[in-house]
Amino acid sequence: MHIERREFLGMRFDPLSADQTLARLAKVTGETPYSYVVTPNVDHVVRLHEKEWIEAKLRAIYDEADLCLCDSKVLHTLARLRGVRLPVLVGTDLASLVFERLVEPGDRIAIVGGSDTIVRILERKYPLVEFVQHTPPMGLRRNPAARRAAAKFIAKSGARFSFIAVGSPQQELIAAEVKCISGAVGTAFCIGAALDFITGQQRRAPRLARLLGLEWAHRLVSDPRRMWRRYLLEGPRVFLLAYRWAGAPHRSAASK
């Protein structure tokens, strides 16, 4: 059943539950025409409004994604206060569910980014699954040739599922570029550090913190030098965006 997207803060989200999402993804095979999934959070939404060139390019990438899922309890709560229902499906949870429920023996899984250790752990956990990995150089955001190489790797891999773990917005740029390559198959996920959490390379927030929408606080405390700017300086801008959006005329009927 088709479910119309709901717009909030310049993004159009698919209001799907985890089960509805998995039901769609279960139909993907190694021969299914290529598609990609994005899971925007507060950081992504704020970035979308920062610079004109980013806004124009990323807005199109999010709009053209085959699934755009809300990754943030904060966005979920702000949207609810404005009359928009956005189910939350965190990217790490989505990646975990794909591995637990959908990945089957004989599947080929492509990974862009991540470490060799992550791949070895996954190979031990899923010995009947074939993993292929591409490790791009640093600075992907300003290196279109390297992004193109990563996109070609995914397109040529023939993988049923591809996990792009190189951070945002470069992972979204790569995912969208694959769609321009003839013959690409499967579904790609823009999942950031999800594989680090799945394989135990990073410790995730306790379940209670996740349920309360405080996973961001756990990450801030765990790595303050790297995360302080995102969560204390840039992230709070979302509240001003939500305030301005409340009276804006661009809310669609699908948002109500």
Query: Which tokens sit at 12?
Result: 């159009």
Q: Distance between CA atoms of 199 and 181, rounded to whole angstroms?
A: 31
> What are 69-115's pLDDT values in tens digits?
999 999 999 999 999 999 999 999 999 999 999 999 999 999 999 99
Q: What is the mean pLDDT of residues 177-204?
A: 92
Stated pTM of the model:
0.88
pLDDT digits (tens, 9 = 90+) for 125-158: 999 999 999 999 999 988 999 999 999 999 999 9
One-letter amino acid identity for 52? E
Segment 207-229 shows an average pLDDT of 67
- Give the C-alpha distances (Å, rounded to integers) separating 237 from 9, 46, 129, 194, 250: 12, 7, 42, 25, 20
CA dist 191 and 95 (Å) reads 7
Q: What is the pLDDT of residue 218?
A: 58
